[in-house]
């Protein structure tokens, strides 16, 4: 299942809205320790982070492109 690492900031809310509008099921990660570990593990430092089923981690720009390419 897709996971959204979110601090509930405006950018995070954009990604969350797109996931809902496209009907893509996802889990939310909002524990800051977990988000920090995830971000550091992939060399990123900002939220949101979208973790795809295949383990790929996308930053805000990449997540937007990915979601825009999904049908619905």
What confidence score (pLDDT) does residue 37 get? 93
- Assess contact for 42 and 63: CB atoms under 8 A: no
Rounded to an integer, what distance in angstroms lies between the CA atom of residue 30 and that of residue 61?
19
Give residue-wise pLDDT tens across range 35-71: 999 999 999 988 999 999 999 999 999 999 999 999 7
Rounded to an integer, what distance in angstroms lies between the CA atom of residue 33 and that of residue 48?
14
The answer to pTM > 0.75 is yes
Q: Provide the 3-class DSSP secondary structure of residue 26.
A: strand
What confidence score (pLDDT) does residue 45 get? 87
Rounded to an integer, what distance in angstroms lies between the CA atom of residue 40 and that of residue 20?
27
Spell out the domain ranges in the chain. 2-69
Write down the CATH superfamily of domain 2-69: Glutaredoxin (3.40.30.10)
């Amino acid at each position: 299942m897709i996971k959204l690492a979110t601090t509930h900031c405006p950018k995070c809310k954009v990604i969350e809205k797109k996931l809902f509008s496209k009907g893509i099921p996802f889990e939310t990660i909002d524990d800051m320790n977990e988000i920090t570990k995830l971000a550091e593990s992939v060399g990123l430092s900002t939220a949101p982070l979208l973790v795809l089923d295949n383990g790929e981690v996308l930053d805000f720009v990449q997540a937007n492109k990915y979601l825009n390419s999904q049908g619905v």
